[in-house]
Structure 1
Amino acid sequence: MRYTTFGRRSGLRVSEYALGTGNFGTAWVSGTGAADARAIFDRFAEAGGTFLDTAGMYQAGESEAVLGDLLSADRDHFVVSTKYGATDAAQPHVSLTGSGRKNLVASVEASLRRLRTDHVDLLWVHFPDGVTPIDEIVRGMDDLVRSGKVHHVALSNFPAWQVSAAAILADLRGWAPIVGIQTEYSLIERSAERELLPMAEGLGLAVNLWSPLSGGLLTGKYRTGGEGRANDPSRYVTAESTDQRTAVIDTVLAVAEETGVSTAQVSMAWLRQRGERSAATLVPIVGPRTLAQLDDYLDALTVTLTDEQYARLDAVSAVEPGVPSTINASIRESLLGGDLARFISPAVPVA
């Protein structure tokens, strides 16, 4: 397990995987009991993992409670991140949902009790609620940082324009900086490359990548009726619903056969090598439900794809950049090929 700082906006040191603990608990259809959760936690720690991801809504709060028990022996060894804003309560209360200050404070206090700690290392706003002003969110999180209950703050599942606004607002007003974003990203879902990843590279934000195996789709198990997230009606699931997704899975299966490793390891190896080519820090969140699944993730850390294999996977999974990237690329190519090239060529010395 390697380690990295969490982007260029903080000195927070994290392992190259984050352990997603959304399966810790039994309130959802897909989950695991305390004994199996401990085995997964211990194996991750033995492998050198330090970065833990949870949320107040996961397993109706059980995830944080189970994690709190696991952390009690050595809390400071780990980087604990949690999220607020969303809920899976059967009857959510209007005052205790959303991104506003009231729910922010109440959620963090509840998370601290369940986690049995006096601080979280990284607090995420889980989703934009569509109504709370961004300055209320950023100022509220700054207050928690100043109180010592939260060390770093970040935004999950926010569009790039809102993240940019929040980051600049925090900088201009001297509030706690936004240090990272969390987004879905995998060989199946690469649309974050249109705006989110370039923004993260430009602003120095770290990127947590959730669903790196697209909910198990990239393992190919659902083609043979395998069980997993797709069998839980309460979970977000990506289906093999397009010709491109079918082509991606076919290519992953082919590369797995060539290399003699699992499809999960191929998919995670591509993601790791994609991160090495990025100016942003990319940290996948792995969410195993069993020890075997965790071992598959850990074994992927030793897999290296050939340049040809990486390029093949990259090509079959690529997304169209869209507007304005497409037109801008065309214009740049046109300009570079014309008389203006001599004014912007790096070979021309600057007076």
Structure 2
Amino acid sequence: MEFRRLGASGFKVPVLTFGTGTFGGKGPLFSAWGSTDIAEATRLVDVCLESGLNMFDTADVYSDGASESILGAAVKGRRDKVILSTKVTFRRSDETGPNDVGSSRERLLRTVDASLQRLGTDYLDLLQLHGFDAETPVQETLSTLDDLVRAGKIRYIGVSNFSGWHLMKSLSVADRYGWTRYVANQAYYSLIGRDYEWEQMPLGLDQGVGGVIWSPLGWGRLTGKIRRGTPLPADSRLHGSASYGPQVSDELLYRVVDALDEVAKETGKSIPQIAINWLLQRPSVSTVVIGARNEEQLRQNLGAVGWSLTDEHMKKLDEASKVTPAYPYWHQNGFERNKPPV
């Protein structure tokens, strides 16, 4: 397993991270993802560690905390062998109070302690804000995170689902006061969702923020099972949960799948493996979060590393997945020196 620096930090993470959104299976969204219990989770963790993958990502809202609890049980007794990452900010279904959402000082202190308890650990390797809190001053959020780092409860901090200006403002405030900087940006990025390249990729390269990529298979669309003129497979996660995730036009999806089919025939690799490998060759990416409902899926996804697509394959996939970006990015793309070199 290859390891890369997490952004500009000195911390190295595996190029694949195991996402535990399938652990628990509570609620309409997460039940569509999977319902892995402690025994199954422990086996999946075993397989990951055997392959060299030692980073596990979760969130306090995944199955209302059950994902964290199951992951904590699965890694019990081997905390020193794993990297644990979780996310906070959103409201869980059992939370109804006015302070039960966001990234205020009061909520961060409370939710971090709750996540630590569920995970059965006294520190997090990486804490990421699951979304931007527009009602809490950035200074309040960052000063609290800095306190948690200094207290030893968190090693590194990151964000998820931030706009470019959200992240850049936060980095500027951290620099102004000498507080801990974000080094990770957990963002959606796939062959059928390349918006990350418009602003967040160049920002990450310029500011030393590593991409932690979620849903590399485009919300389950790049499994190789979705084809022109065929019904959605019965076991697709898109049943009942498509509206939660990124929307994709059929034209773009089928064009990309056609290109993936061509590359699959030339490489002997599966469509998911190719889609993940393409991401690993893109700039600013530190790690790609893979998920699996069972051991077979996990082993398939682990096969995305240890080899590289050729320049010709990358170009073919780049062309098939290209879309016209929103303004001002299409305008900027017409000029030299608008973005850092990659």
Name the amino acid aligned to 2:266: E
TM score, norm. by length of structure 1:
0.88
SS of residue paired to 1:216: coil
CA contact (8 A) 1:269 1:300 kept: yes
User: 1:13 corresponds to which residue?
Assistant: 12
Q: How do 1:338-349 and structure 2 match up within 5 A?
A: none
User: 2:274 corresponds to which residue?
Assistant: 266
Decide which moves more: 69-78 or 217-226. 217-226
Tell me which of 96, 121, 129 is aligned to 1:92.
96
CA contact (8 A) 1:97 1:103 kept: yes
Change in CA separation of 1:119 and 1:20 when aligned onto 2, cut-off 3 Å: same
Q: Distance in 1 between matches of 2:209 and 2:293?
A: 29
Q: How do 1:66-105 and structure 2 match up within 5 A?
A: 66-90=70-94, 92-105=96-109
Name the larger-Rg structure: 1
**Unmatched segments (≥5 aa) in structure 2:** 338-342
SS of residue paired to 1:96: coil
Q: How many residues align?
A: 328
Give % identity. Answer: 36
User: 1:285 corresponds to which residue?
Assistant: 289
CA contact (8 A) 2:73 2:120 kept: yes
CA contact (8 A) 2:211 2:286 kept: yes
Residue 258 (structure 1) shift: 3.1
User: 1:323 corresponds to which residue?
Assistant: 327
Q: Distance in 1 between matches of 2:270 and 2:251?
A: 22
Are residues 1:141 and 2:149 paired? Answer: no
User: 1:205 corresponds to which residue?
Assistant: 209
Q: Distance in 2 between matches of 1:98 and 1:76?
A: 30
Q: Distance in 1 between matches of 2:72 and 2:335?
A: 54
SS of residue paired to 2:48: helix
Residue 321 (structure 1) shift: 4.1
Residue 293 (structure 1) shift: 1.1
Q: How do 1:164-243 and structure 2 match up within 5 A?
A: 164-223=168-227, 224-226=231-233, 227-233=235-241, 236-243=244-251
CA contact (8 A) 2:45 2:75 kept: no
User: 1:64 corresponds to which residue?
Assistant: 68
SS of residue paired to 1:95: coil
Deviations 1:228-266 (A, max 9, x none): 321243983345524222211221123223322211111
User: 1:337 corresponds to which residue?
Assistant: none
CA contact (8 A) 1:15 1:49 kept: yes
Decide which moves more: 78-87 or 254-263. 254-263
Name the amino acid aligned to 2:60: G
TM score, norm. by length of structure 2:
0.90
**Unmatched segments (≥5 aa) in structure 1:** 334-351
Name the amino acid aligned to 2:267: T
Q: For the aligned residues, what is the CA RMSD?
A: 1.9
Q: Distance in 1 between matches of 2:299 and 2:244?
A: 24
Deviations 1:194-239 (A, max 9, x none): 1000000000111100000012101132445321321243983345
Q: Which has the higher contact order (CA 8 A, sep 6+)?
A: 2
Tell me which of 108, 120, 123 is aligned to 2:112.
108
CA contact (8 A) 1:179 1:205 kept: yes
